[in-house]
Structure 1
C-alpha cells in the first residue's frame, strides 16, 4: 500500500505560507524561495533529489503539474532525469492529454481516485506543492506524512498548506534537520 507524502519538499514560510515561492504566480509577496533560501539552495537541491529518487510516483494538481512539467521537461541532470521518467499522476477535470512523459490523468472524484492509487502502488506517493490538492487529502485523511522546509521569512498573508482544516489533525514529529545554515527540514506523520 502506498503512502501519501506532502512534500517535494514542501517549502513554507515561518508563518505557514506556501503560495508562490518562486514568484511566477504574481502574488505580491511571492518570490521568497530564492530570496530567503540564498546559499542554502544547493543543499536544498540535494534533499529534493534524494526525495525524488526514493519516491514511487508524484501526485499533483493541474497547476503544479503544468509548472513542474514546463520547468523540468527541457532539463537534463540527475533530478530532471528522475522527474521526467518517474510515474506522475495529475488530478484534473480539464486536462485531456498529458504532455509530460509517464503521466496518468485522474479525472474522477479525487478521494476515490487517490484511495485507489494508494491501494495500487507501494512506496511513497509524493505530492509536491499542490496545496489545494493537499487540503483535500488532509480533509479526507488520505495524507500520511508531511515534510516541510521552513524558510526564514514571515510573509503575513497568503495561502497555507493546511488551509482551514476541518477539525484537529494531530501529528507526530519523526525527523528534523537543518539544511545549510538557514533552512529547517521537518517531517511529521499524521496520527
Structure 2
C-alpha cells in the first residue's frame, strides 16, 4: 500500500505559514538534494486548496534550467496532483485533478493503487482530516532555526496523536528534518 507523507516547513516556535518568507535563506545543496529525493520517491501530490493555489501560481513558470535540483521543476509540474477543495472548480496546473465526493474515500482509494508514495506539502485542514482517519503514514517536519513569534502554528486543531520518531536528518544550515510516524 502506498504511504501518504506530509512534509511541512516549520519554525522553532511551530509556525508553518508563509515559509517562503523565512525558509529560503536556509536552502543549501544538501537541503535541495533531500527535497528532490523526497519528491522523486513519490509519484503523486495531494493538496488542499490553499497549498494548491500557492503552488499553481508559481511552479508552472519555473524550469530546471540552471537549477541545482535537476529535474525537480519538471517532476513537480508533470506528476499527478490531487486537490481537495469544495470551492475550486477549475484547475489550470498541468495534470491536476479535483477530488470529487468524499475526500477520505478518495485518499483510501489512492493509497490502494499501485505506485510510489503520495506526497503532501503543508499541514492544514486536509492533513488534519486525513490524520484523524488514520491515513497519514509519516509527517516530516523541516524545522528551521528561526523564531517568528507570530503566525499559524503547526497542529492547530489536531486531536491528540501519539508519534514515533522514525528518523532525523540535519543539514549544515541548521535545518533538521524529523520524520514521525503516527502510532496506531
> What's the TM-score, normalizing by structure 1?
0.85
1:175 has 2:167 as partner:
yes
Aligned to 2:176: 184
SS in 2 for 1:142: coil
1:32 Cα deviation after fit: 1.7
- What do the CA deviations read for 1:10-67 (whole angstroms, capped 9, x no partner)? 1001122111112xxxxxxxx2223xxx254443222211111111210001121121
CA contact (8 A) 1:134 1:162 kept: no
Superposition RMSD on alpha carbons, in Å? 1.7
Unmatched 5+ stretches in structure 2:
65-70
Aligned 1:35-74 pairs, distance under 5 A: 38-74=25-61
Instruction: Give the superposition deviation at 1:132.
Output: 2.1
Work out whether 1:126 is the aligned partner of 2:119.
Answer: yes
Q: 1:130 to 1:105 in 2, by over 3 A?
A: farther
Residues 17 and 121 (structure 1 numbering): CA distance in 2 closer, same or farther, change over 3 Å?
Answer: farther
Give me the whole-angstrom Cα distance separating, in 1, the residues matched to 2:99 and 2:10: 27
Distance between the aligned counterparts of 2:139 and 2:26, measured in 1?
Answer: 24
Name stretches of at least 5 consecutive residues in structure 1 with no aligned partner.
Answer: 23-30
- 1:4 equivalent in alignment to 2:4: yes
Q: Does the 8 A contact of 1:3 with 1:118 survive in 2?
A: yes
Aligned length: 177
